[in-house]
Amino acid sequence: MKLKKKLLIIILLVFIKLSYSQQSESLSELNKRIKFLNSESLDLDKNSNKILDLVSQIIKKNESSYLIESHSCMRGQNETNRIKTQKRAQIIKKELINRGIENSRLVALGYGETKRKYICTTRVCDLQNERIEIIKTD
* Mean pLDDT, range 10-15, rounded to an integer: 59
Structural domain count, the chain? 1
* Mean pLDDT, range 8-14, rounded to an integer: 62
* pLDDT greater than 90 at residue 3: no
pTM score, whole prediction: 0.78
Residue 129 structural domain: 2-136
Instruction: From residue 127, give the alpha-carbon distance in Å to each of 7, 48, 88.
Output: 49, 18, 16
Residues 61, 64: Cα–Cα separation, whole Å? 9
- Residue 19: per-residue pLDDT: 47
Cα separation of the two ends of the chain = 43
* Mean pLDDT, range 5-19, rounded to an integer: 58
Percent of the chain having pLDDT more than 90? 57
pLDDT class for 123, splitting at 50, 70, 90?
A: confident
Looking at the chain, how many residues does it have?
A: 138
What count of other Cβ atoms lies within 10 Å of the Cβ of residue 19?
Answer: 9
Residues 70, 30: Cα–Cα separation, whole Å? 14
Contact 74, 59 (CB under 8 A): no
CATH number of the domain encompassing residue 88: 3.30.1330.60
Phi-psi region of 112 (alpha: psi -120 to 50; beta: other; left: phi over 0): left
Residues 122, 75: Cα–Cα separation, whole Å? 11
* pLDDT greater than 80 at residue 34: yes
What is the DSSP secondary structure assignment for residue 66, as one 8-state letter?
E
Residues 133, 117: Cα–Cα separation, whole Å? 11
- Residue 1: per-residue pLDDT: 58
Query: What would the pLDDT profile of 43-100 be if each residue is shown by its tens digit?
Result: 999 999 999 999 999 999 999 999 999 998 888 888 999 999 999 999 999 999 999 9
